């Protein structure tokens, strides 16, 4: 056995949004399992605290903390970042996982309110978040930011058009941040899940057609599970990915293969 510290996150502080369930919860668990201290946040404190408590039981020590934050509001994001610094320390890893999709239907029929909410929460709030945590990483000359986009960014949709647009915009934001922050040692990447079996995506996978597609069209012949995101989050947070930035990494069972 070859000893390695490539995936060791001991001493690192990770801040996660949208982490009380699904993919965010799985990523928080994985980061803590590999030694990081994590701030688990979502809109409501109780489910976030439940995840933090579960992590602490698993690890046998306090590695997780909880904070209520609606990622669509800059003042709440600022309070979250301040609380993380006060309770744990300067932030080394950022996981921007919070997102919304308030509308299913034709692109031409979406209301201005739903369009603005989608673009603001899925794109602008992540810029706010990056801006708030960047000083900690710049002071150290290193750090990792990752934001949850979607494979939907690469395709049109008759029902998820604005959501997909927001995720492509988020990938563009990631690339620009990577270009700006790379010379100062900070890496920024996008995670692009395919169809993952979570509550958020239930309308997409909980039907016979999705099951057929998983068995016939997805090369790995299954839908994704939230836990499939854990390893990628650890990889991007750790020195194992030290030369990776500005990427949109798909995690979709092989559905979207690209040259």
Q: What is the CATH number of the domain that holds 230?
A: 3.40.50.720
Inside any domain, residue 216: yes
Asked whether residue 135 is assigned to any structural domain, the reply reads yes
Q: How much is the pLDDT for 257?
A: 81
Kindly report, residue by residue over 199-239, the tens digit of the pLDDT.
665 665 567 777 777 678 889 988 889 999 999 999 999 99
Q: What pLDDT is attached to residue 223? A: 86
Looking at every residue in the chain, the average pLDDT score rounds to 93
pLDDT in tens, 1-48: 566 789 999 999 999 999 999 999 999 999 999 999 999 999 999 999
The strand order across the sheet containing 64-68 reads 64-68, 37-42, 13-17, 93-96, 143-148, 186-193, 248-251
**Number of structural domains in the chain:** 1
Predicted confidence (pLDDT) at residue 167 exceeds the cutoff of 60: yes
Catalytic residue check, 104: no
**Is 256 a member of any domain?**
no
Q: In the predicted model, what is the mean pLDDT of residues 186-198?
A: 91
Q: Which of 73, 104, 115, 163 is catalytic?
A: 163
The pTM (predicted TM-score) of the whole model is: 0.94
What integer pLDDT is reported at residue 111 of this predicted model?
A: 97
The residue-averaged pLDDT of 135-155 equals 97
Q: Select from 223, 256, 135, 235 the least CA-distant residue to 189.
A: 235
User: What confidence score (pLDDT) does residue 28 get?
Assistant: 98
Does 1 map to a domain?
Answer: no
Q: Does the residue 2 lie in any domain?
A: no
- Please give the backbone phi and psi of residue 95, each rounded to the nearest 5 degrees, phi first: -120, 105
Convert the pLDDT of each residue in 82-121 to its tens digit. 999 999 999 999 999 999 999 999 999 999 999 999 999 9
In a domain, 6, yes or no: no
User: Domain range holding 215?
Assistant: 13-248
Given a contact cutoff of 8 angstroms between Cβ atoms, the answer to whether 187 and 179 are in contact is no
């Amino acid at each position: 056995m070859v000893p390695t510290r490539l995936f060791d996150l001991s001493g690192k502080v990770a801040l996660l949004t949208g982490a009380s369930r699904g993919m965010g919860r799985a990523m928080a668990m994985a980061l803590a399992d590999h030694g990081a201290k994590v701030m688990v946040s979502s809109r409501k404190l109780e489910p976030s605290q439940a995840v933090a408590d579960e992590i602490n039981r698993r690890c046998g020590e306090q590695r997780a903390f909880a904070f209520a934050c609606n990622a669509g509001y800059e003042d709440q994001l600022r309070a979250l970042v301040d609380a993380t610094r006060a309770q744990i320390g300067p932030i080394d890893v950022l996981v921007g996982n919070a997102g919304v999709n308030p509308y299913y239907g034709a692109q031409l029929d979406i209301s201005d309110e739903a369009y603005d909410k989608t673009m603001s929460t899925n794109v602008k709030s992540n810029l706010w978040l990056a801006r708030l945590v960047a000083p900690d990483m710049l002071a150290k000359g290193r750090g990792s930011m990752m934001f949850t986009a979607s494979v939907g960014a690469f395709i049109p949709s008759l029902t998820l058009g604005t959501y997909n647009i927001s995720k492509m915009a988020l990938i563009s934001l990631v690339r620009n941040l990577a270009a700006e922050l790379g010379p100062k040692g900070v890496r920024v990447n996008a995670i692009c899940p395919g169809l993952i079996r979570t509550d958020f995506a239930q309308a997409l996978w909980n039907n016979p057609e999705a099951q057929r597609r998983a068995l016939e069209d997805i090369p790995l012949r299954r839908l994704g599970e939230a836990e499939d995101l854990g390893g990628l989050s650890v990889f991007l947070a750790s020195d194992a990915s030290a030369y990776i930035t500005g990427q949109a990494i798909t995690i979709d069972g092989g559905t979207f293969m690209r040259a």
